[in-house]
């Protein structure tokens, strides 16, 4: 009989604890073993000890998947990888039509041939998107709150306060497949592999992670003042912001570089990197060509 290994991360979300994680037992009719994902130091060794019909269940949020795909890069995975969404945002699950707590589903086809992003001379694979601007700022502030409190982080509140008082827009240069554009007063400039990020925002509603060309989409929200931005910001959660074509532009390509004129926090699938001047995202198909 096959055995399942549940890999969890207690830092994945406010409600992520062993009691809640073990709710997955009622959704899977197999013997399960629970392992803290941070305890796995060598994935090659870990997979070598599994039987052919054993399977993995990743339990947590988008950051848990991100950690797994980066730490297993270059390893041929033959076992079935399932995902049990139980993080804070669960944007990957939402993009595929699942909700928090849904029955674990196979994700093998979605965690191979992933795009990469290079930040500060280090390259990462990503599952949803790269946030740059006020979204990175929100993750930075949220991380500080988590360090000092057990309360649930309200990212919407952080964004509103940031828009009104704390976050200053930047000027940006965006290069997509060799073509460069410049923008003033840029509030947000994410590059997306899927549609959702940031706990339900839909910056690029027409992006398809399985599109035949393998392209990524960058959304630039620019040239607006604080109050106008605050008024339009909620529309990102419905993908309706793209109607405002004078302030929002969507660019598609296989190699995308975004440069700001001052250091700003950046997030990759919810994981924060501070003081970033630029990033370069490359689609999986472009990587293979190179």
Which two structure tokens, joined as six digits, stand for 39? Answer: 């305890």
The answer on 282 and 244 residing in a single domain is yes
Three-class secondary structure assignment of 200-252 = CECCCCCCCCCCCCCCEEEEEEECCCHHHHHHHHHHHHCCHHHHCCCCEEEEE
The per-residue pLDDT of the chain, averaged, comes to 92
For the chain, how many structural domains are there in total? 2
Residue 173, pLDDT score: 98
CA distance 263 to 281: 18
CA distance 246 to 181: 14
Residue 37 phi, psi dihedral angles, 5° rounding: -60, -30
CA distance 191 to 85: 23
CA distance 237 to 198: 9
3-state SS assignment for residue 97: coil
The answer on 149 and 123 residing in a single domain is yes
Residue 16, pLDDT score: 59
CA distance 121 to 240: 35
The answer on 259 and 175 residing in a single domain is yes
Which two structure tokens, joined as six digits, stand for 6? Answer: 């549940």
Residue 92, pLDDT score: 97
Among the listed ranges 6-20, 72-86, 191-205, 267-281, which one has the minimum average pLDDT value? 6-20
Q: Is 60 exceeded by the pLDDT of residue 227?
A: yes
3-state SS assignment for residue 161: helix
The answer on 130 and 165 residing in a single domain is yes
Residue 145, pLDDT score: 86
CA distance 249 to 24: 41
Residue 13, pLDDT score: 58
The answer on 214 and 148 residing in a single domain is yes
HSE-CB of 145 using CA atoms within 13 angstroms: 16
The answer on 67 and 130 residing in a single domain is no
At which of 110, 132, 163 does a domain end?
Answer: 110
At which of 72, 94, 110 does a domain end?
Answer: 110
pLDDT digit string (tens) for 92-134?
999 999 999 899 999 999 999 999 999 999 999 999 999 999 9
3-state SS assignment for residue 158: helix
Kindly indicate the confidence band of residue 286, based on its pLDDT and cuts at 50, 70 and 90: low
Are 239 and 205 in contact by the 8 Å Cβ rule? The answer is yes
Are 220 and 118 in contact by the 8 Å Cβ rule? The answer is no
pLDDT digit string (tens) for 60-81?
889 999 999 999 999 999 999 9
- CATH number for 106: 3.40.50.10330
Q: Is 60 exceeded by the pLDDT of residue 56?
A: yes
At which of 110, 144, 159 does a domain end?
Answer: 110
Residue 189, pLDDT score: 97
Determine how β-strand 3-8 pairs with β-strand 55-60.
parallel
3-state SS assignment for residue 148: helix
The answer on 201 and 99 residing in a single domain is no
Domain that holds residue 19: 3-110
Judge residue 212's burial from the number of C-beta atoms within 10 Å of its C-beta, 0-12 exposed, 13-18 middle, 19 or more buried.
exposed
Q: Is 60 exceeded by the pLDDT of residue 15?
A: no
The answer on 273 and 186 residing in a single domain is yes
% of the chain residues with pLDDT over 70:
96
CA 44 to chain centre: 25
Residue range 205-221: average pLDDT? 96
% of the chain residues with pLDDT over 90:
77
The answer on 132 and 72 residing in a single domain is no
If you search the block for the tokens 């409600």, which residue do you land on? Answer: 15
Are 155 and 13 in contact by the 8 Å Cβ rule? The answer is no
pLDDT digit string (tens) for 149-207?
877 788 888 888 898 899 999 999 999 999 999 999 999 999 999 999 988 999 999 99
Q: Could you give the residue ranges of the DSSP H alpha helices within 127-188? A: 134-148, 155-161
The answer on 245 and 192 residing in a single domain is yes
Residue 114, pLDDT score: 96
Which two structure tokens, joined as six digits, stand for 46? Answer: 């870990």
The answer on 147 and 206 residing in a single domain is yes
Residue 191, pLDDT score: 98
The answer on 131 and 105 residing in a single domain is no
Residue 146, pLDDT score: 81
Q: Is 90 exceeded by the pLDDT of residue 19?
A: no
Residue 287, pLDDT score: 54
- CATH number for 226: 2.60.200.40
Are 282 and 254 in contact by the 8 Å Cβ rule? The answer is yes
């Amino acid at each position: 009989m096959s055995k399942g290994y549940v890999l969890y991360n207690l830092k994945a979300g406010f409600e992520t604890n062993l009691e809640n994680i073990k709710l997955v037992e009622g959704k899977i009719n197999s013997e399960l073993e629970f392992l803290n994902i941070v305890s796995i130091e060598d994935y090659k060794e870990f997979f070598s000890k599994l039987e052919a019909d054993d399977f993995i269940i990743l339990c947590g949020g988008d950051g848990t998947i991100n950690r797994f795909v980066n730490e297993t890069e270059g390893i041929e995975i033959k076992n079935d990888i399932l995902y049990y969404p139980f993080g804070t945002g669960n944007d990957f699950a939402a993009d595929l039509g699942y909700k928090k707590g849904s029955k674990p589903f196979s994700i093998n086809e979605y965690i191979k041939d992933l795009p990469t992003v290079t930040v500060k001379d280090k390259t990462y694979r990503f599952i949803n998107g790269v946030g740059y601007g006020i979204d990175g700022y929100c993750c930075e502030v949220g991380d500080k709150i988590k360090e000092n409190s057990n309360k649930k982080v309200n990212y919407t509140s952080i964004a509103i306060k940031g828009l009104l008082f704390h976050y200053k827009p930047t000027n940006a240069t965006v290069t997509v497949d060799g073509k460069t554009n410049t923008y003033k007063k840029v509030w947000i400039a994410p590059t997306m592999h899927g549609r959702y990020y940031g706990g339900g925002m839909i910056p690029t509603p027409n992006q398809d992670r399985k599109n035949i060309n393998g392209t990524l989409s960058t959304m630039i929200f620019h040239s607006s003042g604080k109050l106008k931005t605050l008024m339009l910001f909620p529309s990102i959660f419905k993908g309706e912001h793209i109607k405002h074509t004078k302030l929002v532009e969507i660019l598609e390509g296989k190699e995308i570089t975004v440069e700001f004129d001052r250091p700003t926090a950046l997030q990759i699938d919810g994981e924060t990197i501070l003081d970033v001047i630029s990033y370069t995202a490359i689609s999986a198909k472009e990587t293979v060509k190179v």
